[in-house]
Amino acid sequence: MNTRRSFLSQVIASGVAPLFVPAHVLRSQTAPSNKITLGVIGCGSQGIVDMKAFINHEDVRVTALCDVNQKSIDRAKFALREGYGSDDVKVVQDFRELNRDSSIDAVLMALPVHWHSIPSTDAVLNGKHIYHEKPMGMSMAESKHVRAAVKKKGVVFQFGTQQRSDLKFRWACELARNGRLGKMKEIQVGVPGGKIGPDFPEQPVPPHLDWERWVGPAPMTSFHGDKLKRDNHENITNFSLGMISCWGIHHLDIAQWGNGTDETGPISVEGEATYPDKGGCDAVLTWKMRFEYAKAAPITFVNEKNMGISHGTKFIGENGWVHVRRGAITASDDAILRDPANKAGTMPVKLVESIEHTRNFVDAIKNKTRAICDIETAVRSDTLPQLTAMALKAKRKLVWDPVAEVFTNDEAANSLMNARPFRGEWKLPEIG
């Protein structure tokens, strides 16, 4: 294969400009010693999206892939060929082998939710910086365990709540934080609800998949090809807490940011929910939740269109409101958004600016700084969907101490923070 330099020399000598030059040819020649080497654990839909973003950074090189589905590996290698012109990478099925590879600097973890905490803790304890897809895990205990590992090793942690790297979301939060809407009265969060899924009759496991390893620490269940689809396994309680967590974390994170509560949390949570009465998806279907704060606005969290609340995050003040979702920001009065004094980054309270989420992670590694969604931010935001899940299990109002991160005088509720038993050999790695 020609190098970039020899290829361009041939083009210049010919005097003919090509109609198309592959991205890997145009990529500047950053010295290998200055590149961050990245291992990818989880090559499904989200993993591929994240990996492609990393491929765009000339100072990052994907050097290893880990997945138990050969078709996912094949799709990842195709993306690498498109980006680099080569798919020459290490391929493993066991994340522990990847994590122990001393040539790898950082890890992208983009596995199904039931697999989030174990390989992530293992990566961190092996000194890897980590881009950790949301949510944190299946329980508060798992979230805290990953946090303890990150603090012990001092690695860079970036949570996959990429909306913090979107100008519109930062702008909405700055409007709320700077009092441009008046005193905050309420924050409304709406996300997609659950689903009534199909039945999943048992099918033979295909040869390209290690189903035993895919299920891993979760309760064993029979194989069906549709369980591999994200829209399904994220609505099955063996593998996820449902949309209260998988979608909820995104807009609840923005609510936390705009509420000025990144370092704390609510003092109580209560609500109600419904669940599917048929089909193979059993996670929460609809819900209405309320978080109260000691010194911040309350948050109403619902499945979208419930209580007339639409998708996104809506900051409601005494003098007006602003609503933000992916691709759009609107306000009670267009003048709020047109006012030059209300431009993002010009108001007294300026939030951290990040243009692109994976770039922010890479820069944090190189500059030895905190990423925009570091471990403390991640756990605090992830606490809200976790509290939702626990309140729904308890079927009553729960009083939360955001400093001690426990329920107040409520041992029954505190027991709900524990991780469920892991299956087989799997357990959270000891931090020591």
C-alpha dihedral sign at 208, 211, 212, 216: positive
Residues in the chain, total: 432
CA dihedral 191, 194, 113, 381 (to 10 degrees): 30
The rounded distance, in Å, linking the Cα atoms of 257 and 253 is 6
The rounded distance, in Å, linking the Cα atoms of 403 and 274 is 31
Query: What is the number of H-type helices and E-type strands within the chain?
Result: 16, 15
Can you list the domains of the chain with their CATH numbers? Answer: 14-163 (3.40.50.720), 167-350+376-417 (3.30.360.10)
The predicted pLDDT at position 184 comes to 98
The predicted pLDDT at position 42 comes to 98
Residue 206 neighbours by CB under 8 Å, 6+ apart: 225
Report strand pairing: 184-191 vs 312-317.
antiparallel
Q: What share of the chain is helix, strand, coil (3-state, %, to 5)?
A: 40, 20, 45
Q: How many CB atoms lie within 10 A of CB 49?
A: 13
The per-residue DSSP string of 188-233 comes to EEEE-----PPP----PPPTTB-HHHHHTTSPP----GGGGSHHHH
Q: CA separation (Å) from 336 to 28, 172, 251, 362, 422?
A: 43, 11, 22, 35, 51
Beta bridge partners of 61: 37
Q: How many CB atoms lie within 10 A of CB 95?
A: 25
Please work out, in degrees rounded to the nearest 5, the angle formed at the alpha carbon of residue 138 by the alpha carbons of 293 and 123: 110
Per-residue pLDDT of the chain (432 residues; tens, 9 = 90+): 334 444 434 433 444 433 434 444 445 566 666 899 999 999 999 999 999 999 999 999 999 999 999 999 999 999 999 999 999 999 999 999 999 999 999 999 999 999 999 999 999 999 999 999 999 999 999 999 999 999 999 999 999 999 999 999 999 999 999 999 999 999 999 999 999 999 999 999 999 999 999 999 999 999 999 999 999 999 999 999 999 999 999 999 999 999 999 999 999 999 999 999 999 999 999 999 999 999 999 999 999 999 999 999 999 999 999 999 999 999 999 999 999 999 999 999 999 999 999 999 999 999 999 999 999 999 999 999 999 999 999 999 999 999 999 999 999 999 999 999 999 999 999 998
Residue among 301, 47, 69 at smallest CA distance from 160: 47
Chain-centroid distance of CA 379 in Å reads 11
The rounded distance, in Å, linking the Cα atoms of 113 and 217 is 11
Question: What type of residue is 229?
Answer: K
The predicted pLDDT at position 432 comes to 84
Chain-centroid distance of CA 47 in Å reads 11
The rounded distance, in Å, linking the Cα atoms of 334 and 317 is 15
* Helix, coil or strand: residue 184: strand
pTM: 0.93
The rounded distance, in Å, linking the Cα atoms of 359 and 261 is 25
The rounded distance, in Å, linking the Cα atoms of 171 and 166 is 9
Whether the Cβ atoms of residue 114 and residue 239 lie closer than 8 Å to each other: yes
